[in-house]
Structure formats: C-alpha cells, structure tokens
A and B are shown apart, each in its own frame.
Chain A
Amino acid sequence: MTVSPDLDRRFRDAAATLGLLDLGYDVVSTPIGELLVAASDRGLALIRFEADPARELERLAQIAGPRVLRAPRSIDRARGELDEYFAGRRRAFDLSLDLRALPSFTITVLGELARVPYGKTTTYGALAAKVGRPRAARAVGTVMNRNRIPIVLPCHRVVGSKGDLTGYAGGLDRKVTLLELEGAR
C-alpha cells in the first residue's frame, strides 16, 4: 500500500503547521550543493553540507528531541532567505536561531561572528579579542569548526592571521565560493 505524495505532503504540512515537531527539515539546493536545513519552533537549528537526511536523523534527534520529520514547510523562511543570499539579493539574514544546549563561550563567539559584515573577513585572533579572550584563537577555531549553522552564522568569513583560508567544515572549495559570492576575494 503506497502512501500517495499528496497524502504524505498533507501530513507533513499539518505536523509543521500544528507545531508538533521538535525539528522539521528539508533539503535545499544551492550553488554550493544540497544543504540539509532544520528548524524548530525557536528558529533555525542546523545547516549541514552532508545532505543525506537518513544519515543525520539521529544527530537531529539528539539536538532537539525525537519528533524529527522532513517537513518542507518548517524551513520555508530559511529557504527563502538562503535562495536570496545565493542569488546575491540578500546581505544579512533575518532569522531567529535555535542555539540551545551550546556552551556559553560558544554562544558568545557565535554572537560576535554574526556581526562580521557581508563581504568582509576577520581572523580567529581578532574574533578571540572581540570576546575578551585574546589568547583563545584556537578555541575560536574549534567553535567555527563545529558551527551548527554555517552560512547564516558566517564562519566562512573567518581566516588565518596571514589571510590564508585555513579550513572549513564544508570544504575549502565552498569557503572560496562563498567569499567570491560576497565579493570578498
């Protein structure tokens, strides 16, 4: 007995609209590949470059709870802003974020990261200094590496002290593409 796409879609929409999900997710196509995007009722919770949802379900459930469902409607707003960003029509994201369960140092660093403007770059050291921990460049690097919401929290704008790209969880190619998109290279 096959569940028709229409019936399936209606259930997924209803689940999202009624606010019954811990996380709703979908796959979003972008110039840097498909992204797995997940949101809770608190806001955008996760963007992954690994877009195969089947491999990420347990991780999603760990973040927010077991009621994880592919529900395109849950991420309508994020999808819209990401589309605009990749089309070059959006320079800043206007999305609430779900940063629950992250350590306070991480949240402070991500808050500072969010202020790095479109098309500009900063360094790990400069970011560390901004949060009052000038010697914590390496810890800041770790926060960037584990950033749960890349692109929207622009860790691609953070480079080494000599302007070298260092690393990127999504691969250096993507970092270069994002910086070029923003005209920073």
Chain B
Amino acid sequence: MATMAIPPFERFYEEHRAAVLQLLRRRLGVQRAEDAFQETFLRALRAYDRLDHGEHLRAWVLTIAQNVALDAVRRARPTDELVETAVDDASPAYAELADLTAELGPKERAAVVLRYGYDLSYEQIAAALDSSPDAARQATSTGVRRIRRRIAS
C-alpha cells in the first residue's frame, strides 16, 4: 500500500487546529491553552519536513499537544503528581494499547503508542515529545521492557 503523502502544512494546520485547541483548553484552561496552542504547532512545524509519511497526523499532533500541556503543568506546579494523560483519541490503535500501557509514565506511554500503535518513526516521536530521536528510542524500549516485565509477573 502506498503511504499517504505529507500534506502542505497549511492543510494539516487547518484540519487539526480545532482538536488541538479543544484538548489544550480541557487540560490547561482557556488562558494557558493559547500559549500552548502556539507551542504545539511550532513544535510540529520544526519536525514537519522530517516526517516519513502523512499518516496518523492527528494522533501525532495531539501527542505533541499532550506533551506541551504536560510541560506547562509541570512548570506551574513542579512538585505535584502528574495527572493522567491518556490521549483523547478513540482510534483503535490507542484502544488496543490502552490497557498494556496504562501503568507507564506519560512519555514512555506516548512513545510506545506512537511507535507500535501508529508506526511513527523515532524522528516523529521525538518531535511529539520534544526530545531527540535517541531519547525517543530509549523511552520506547524502556516502556516495552516495563510492559514485558508486567506481563511476565
């Protein structure tokens, strides 16, 4: 099957901006969502020319938004326990992996789901997590190791 071409960024932005804003408002409230909105799409833009294909872009950008929100929450309340960060996406890949990844930390969880649920490259995952491809690879393999250990025990 031919992979989907990467759409011009304008199209990508128009298609997903409402969903991104909705997620951010729910996480951060109306005021802080605005800065996070800009940061989300700037991160996406920085990684956009390194995308391998145009599939699962909604999951990708929502994961970026998720992590931008997480960073914002951390900055605001650095000592608080991190809250649940399941991606609001009802697509099957997430659903199937939801149970398996339930006990992982937010970054590892995002990495595993993007890698194995959506088949994204480490470059793309890195952009979503605002880290390097190496760090993305490491988060993914740490996550997988934890899942294996849990299943075995």
Instruction: Decide: B8 and A11 in contact? CB cutoff 8 A.
Output: no
Most buried by B among A18, A61, A67: A67
B10 touches A57 (CB 8 A): yes
Chain B residues lying within 8 Å of A8, measured Cβ to Cβ, are: 17
Interchain CA distance A70-B46 in the complex, whole Å: 16
Count, chain A residues at interface, CB 8 A: 24
Mostly helix, strand, loop or mixed at chain A's interface?
mixed
B46 to chain A, nearest CB (A): 6
Residues of A within 8 A of B18 (CB): 1-3
When C-beta atoms are compared, the residue in chain A nearest to B48 turns out to be: A67
Q: Are A3 and B41 in contact (CB under 8 A)?
A: no
- Tally of contacts, chain A with chain B, CB under 8 A: 62
Write out, one digit per residue, whether chain A residues 63-91 have a CB within 8 A of any chain B CB (1) or not (0).
00111111000000000000000000000
Across-interface contacts of A58 in B (CB, < 8 A): 8
Taking the complex as formed, is A129 at the interface, i.e. its CB lies under 8 A from any CB of chain B? Answer: no
Q: B34 at interface (Cβ–Cβ under 8 A)?
A: yes
A15 at the binding interface (Cβ < 8 Å)? yes
A20 interfacial by beta-carbon distance below 8 Å: yes
A173 CB, nearest partner CB in chain B, Å: 30
Report A's interface with B, CB cutoff 8 A. 1-3, 7-8, 10-11, 14-15, 18, 20-22, 53, 57-58, 60-61, 65-70
Question: Apart from A11-B38, A57-B8, A68-B8, what are 18 other A-B pairs with CB-CB below 8 Å?
Answer: A1-B22, A3-B37, A7-B34, A7-B37, A7-B38, A11-B13, A11-B41, A15-B45, A18-B42, A20-B45, A22-B49, A57-B7, A57-B10, A66-B9, A66-B48, A67-B45, A69-B9, A70-B10
Provide a sorted-by-A list of 22 A–B residue pairs whose CB atoms are within 8 angstroms.
Answer: A1-B18, A1-B21, A3-B21, A7-B37, A7-B38, A8-B17, A10-B34, A11-B13, A11-B37, A11-B38, A11-B41, A15-B42, A20-B42, A57-B10, A57-B11, A60-B8, A66-B6, A66-B49, A66-B51, A68-B10, A69-B10, A70-B10
